[in-house]
Amino acid sequence: MDLLIHSPLSRSSPSLSPFLFNSKNTTLNPVFHSLNFDSRNFQIKLLVSRQNHQLIRAQVSDQIVNDDGFVLEDVPHLTNFLPDLPSYPNPLQKSQAYAIVKKTFVSSEDSVAQNIVVQKDTPRGVHFRRAGPREKVYFKSDEVRACIVTCGGLCPGINTVIREIVCGLNYMYGVDNILGIEGGYKGFYSRNTTTLTPKVVNDIHKRGGTFLCTSRGGHDTNKIVDNIQDRGINQVYIIGGDGTQRGAALIYKEVEKRGLPIAVAGIPKTIDNDIAVIDKSFGFDTAVEEAQRAINAAHVEAESVENGVGIVKLMGRYSGFIAMFATLASRDVDCCLIPESPFYLEGRGGLFDFIEQRLKENGHMVIVVAEGAGQEYVAQNMPGVDEKDASGNRLLLDIGLWLTQKIKDHFSKVRKMTINMKYIDPTYMIRAIPSNASDNIYCTLLAQSAVHGAMAGYTGFTVGPVNSRHAYIPIARVTEATNTVKLTDRMWARLLASTNQPSFLNSSDVLQNDITGAINSMNSNSI
């Protein structure tokens, strides 16, 4: 086999081109081989026909594996499919802001470790390319035509990210041609664009929501890329959750297929903190802080009456992070229910028992329930209801109202006890607010990292902090698994220890969760 391989050290972006010999055959057998090159070990995927054992395709993966078990999960670069793309000195060299910075540019050797708790003899493990400005850029500033789009649900801080992309492009790289795509993915082909300048976005970080509006559904890859091409856009910044990032990966793939010099950068956004690999998502801290107001209110109401039971429903479709962290922060919560942890109502060790016990001890109690918790119970009362939103996400049944009613019925009808129920549903209030100070700083770093990455010619990447260091992460790594609360991790144990609530689990449940959790957590960090 005659492979032409670029040295990873020969340019600032060491990711390697896929070598396509024949991609028509569909019955392929992937075989992995290793190749030593420049004292590094690359993985080569050989795709061989099952019928005649002929080599169909050989592909050098974006993983670089060293002898000491160092793995670099690299992101694509425009030169992977446009090897002759010219590069230019980074204008930051002359920037006042970076004039006295010791090391203005991130070295192509810098990487961020996914796991930082290691044992002496274990392999060095998975790393991601460190985010930041590179010595060379692959765009001339006056030739950049960038666009920004926001998709999916709201989240505190979206406007800060928009603002900082615009200001970062303009102040750091002298780019003044930036378009806002309105109304999410479908806005590419159904709405007019808006011109974004530092002046236009100056104040938007003080507002909640998204200055560009958002939507679900409507991702049509071809129509979107046609539109990007027609408008002469060459940098696409896509802010959104897991669904949005999947859409971004498709856009990047289509751009690559058409051989276009367009950088596609994803900025992960999710109030649920359900995106894998990154430490946590922006706006999450703000949402947890806002949730305290609802929990406080529930607590004040519940403790001011006889047998007061306060229930607060918080967001979290499949991941109970908001509920878990809001509970840990508050100290007023007696019980936290999340989608990852099954619970039951009746019998010994059940929720009803626990409520009665806390009412006897304290005269009141507060429950925080994540919206995705106990869906299977609510579904039993509402058979046949299975609605989806425009993006295909299952619409959740209302666990808050269901739980409120069940508790009321149990105490009035079965226990003949009078309880005072106070149900608070602040669902949208915690995500419709502007981001707090620390999220604003986080958003600024995300935006600037995305800008540096796109200017440096990286594409098909998501940016985010991994163990507090910002990194460029292949999009597939953040979409292939959902970040969920691991019941077997210490954080959930900390919560149980803090509330002293029942775990509602027996050992076989824990084992099952361990297996599922282990699969899910292969790519996710726990906070």
Ligand X SMILES: O=P(O)(O)OC[C@H]1O[C@](O)(CO)[C@@H](O)[C@@H]1O
Paired tokens of 334: 């007696």
Q: Any idea what DSSP says for residue 59?
A: E
Residue 250's binding partner among ligand X, ligand ATP, Mg ion, none (Cβ under 5 to 8 angstroms by kind) is ligand ATP
Q: Which among 209-217, 236-244, 433-441, 502-510 is the span making contact with Mg ion, rule CB under 5 A?
A: 236-244
The residues, any chain, with a CB within 8 Å of residue 308's CB and separated by 6 or more, are 301, 302, 363, 364, 365, 419, 420, 422
Residue 246's binding partner among Mg ion, ligand ATP, ligand X, none (Cβ under 5 to 8 angstroms by kind) is ligand ATP
Residue 285 is a catalytic residue:
no
**Euclidean distance between CA atoms 235 and 169, whole angstroms:** 11
- Active-site residue identified among 74, 272, 285, 439: 272
Of residues 183 through 222, those in contact with ligand X by CB under 6 A are: 216
Residue 315's binding partner among ligand ATP, Mg ion, ligand X, none (Cβ under 5 to 8 angstroms by kind) is ligand X
Closest CA to 321 of 338, 341, 333, 342: 338
Binding interface with ligand ATP (CB under 6 A): 151-153, 184-185, 215-219, 240-244, 246-247, 250, 270, 391, 393
Choosing from 147, 251, 271, 367, the residue that interacts with ligand X (CB under 6 A) is 271
Closest approach, Cβ 81 to ligand ATP, in A, equals 21
Contact present, 447 and 211 (Cβ < 8 Å): no
**Inter-axis angle of helices 284-303 and 321-330, nearest 10:** 60
Closest approach, Cβ 291 to ligand ATP, in A, equals 17
Residue 148: half-sphere exposure toward Cβ, Cα within 13 Å: 29
Contact present, 177 and 145 (Cβ < 8 Å): yes
Strands 469-474 and 461-466: antiparallel
Choosing from 205, 246, 280, 317, the residue that interacts with ligand X (CB under 6 A) is 317
Nearer to Mg ion, 266 or 310 (CB): 266
Closest CA to 337 of 359, 367, 311, 377: 367
**Euclidean distance between CA atoms 80 and 11, whole angstroms:** 11
Closest approach, Cβ 154 to ligand ATP, in A, equals 8
Nearer to ligand X, 72 or 151 (CB): 151
Size of the site for ligand X (CB under 6 A): 14
- Is residue 153 a contact residue for ligand X (CB under 6 A)? yes
Choosing from 203, 346, 389, 409, the residue that interacts with ligand X (CB under 6 A) is 389
CB atoms within 10 A of CB 472: 30
Q: Which among 103-111, 142-150, 225-233, 239-247 is the span making contact with Mg ion, rule CB under 5 A?
A: 239-247
Paired tokens of 285: 């801290």
Paired tokens of 113: 């470790």
Q: Which residue is nearest to ligand X (CB)?
A: 153
Residue 285's binding partner among ligand X, ligand ATP, Mg ion, none (Cβ under 5 to 8 angstroms by kind) is none
- Is residue 241 a contact residue for Mg ion (CB under 5 A)? yes
x-marked contacts with ligand X along 368-387 as a string, rule CB under 6 A: ---x----------------
Annotated binding site for ATP: 153, 216-217, 241-244
Choosing from 242, 256, 301, 371, the residue that interacts with Mg ion (CB under 5 A) is 242
Closest approach, Cβ 124 to ligand ATP, in A, equals 32
Nearer to ligand ATP, 93 or 222 (CB): 222
Paired tokens of 339: 């989608």
Strands 125-130 and 469-474: antiparallel
The residues, any chain, with a CB within 8 Å of residue 271's CB and separated by 6 or more, are 153, 154, 155, 156, 281, 283, 284, 287, 315, 322, 430, 431
Closest approach, Cβ 379 to ligand ATP, in A, equals 21
Closest CA to 524 of 239, 275, 246: 275
Closest CA to 140 of 177, 193, 98: 177
The residues of the shown chain that bind ligand X, judged by CB under 6 A, are 152-153, 216, 241, 270-272, 315-317, 371, 389, 396, 431
The residues of the shown chain that bind Mg ion, judged by CB under 5 A, are 241-243
Catalytic residues: 272
